[in-house]
Amino acid sequence: MRSYPTDSPQAITRLVALTAMADGNLSLEEILALETDNAAGLSLDETRTVVQDLCQDLLKDTGLDWRQVCTVPPEVLYPLLNELRAPQQRLLALQEALRVAQADRDLHDAESRILLDAMQHWGMLDEPPRHKATRAD
């Protein structure tokens, strides 16, 4: 998986995109939300490049199968989370990821799991998240 500079707009955008993809379906609404109002400050072309690079890295480096809902394993997620160190950048990433993931009016369990795992990893939760079984669609 490629790395980005700490607290960079690319690192934030990649986490946002990963969250929206976690349910196995990057909807048109989520794509539009990601591309049209990138709170991290990337242009449309830069945002598209980050998303494309993320998809390539996930397929090449991790072997994750995005045709089905998948769990992003810690060995994939934590290095991405570690690229965000400043509290304000972490909060921006969480807010933006939630906004984009909810753009299709469905916050899937897999999407919320990434948000919870991020908050836990960054010490924002008092207790570890308790994952429920993924709901049937």
- For the cut 50, the answer to whether the pLDDT of residue 136 exceeds it is no
User: What's the pLDDT tens digit per position in 35-88?
Assistant: 888 889 999 999 999 999 998 888 886 665 555 556 778 888 999 999 999 999
Could you give the 3-state DSSP secondary structure of residue 82?
A: helix
Summarize the confidence of residues 102-115 as an average pLDDT. Answer: 92
Q: Hey, how many other C-beta atoms are within 10 angstroms of the C-beta on 67?
A: 8
Domain spans, the chain = 9-121
Summarize the confidence of residues 83-100 as an average pLDDT. Answer: 96
What's the pLDDT score for residue 58?
83
Both tokens of 38, joined, read 């990138």
43 burial type by CB count under 10 A (0-12 exposed, 13-18 middle, 19+ buried) = exposed
User: What's the pLDDT tens digit per position in 15-38?
Assistant: 999 999 888 888 999 999 998 888
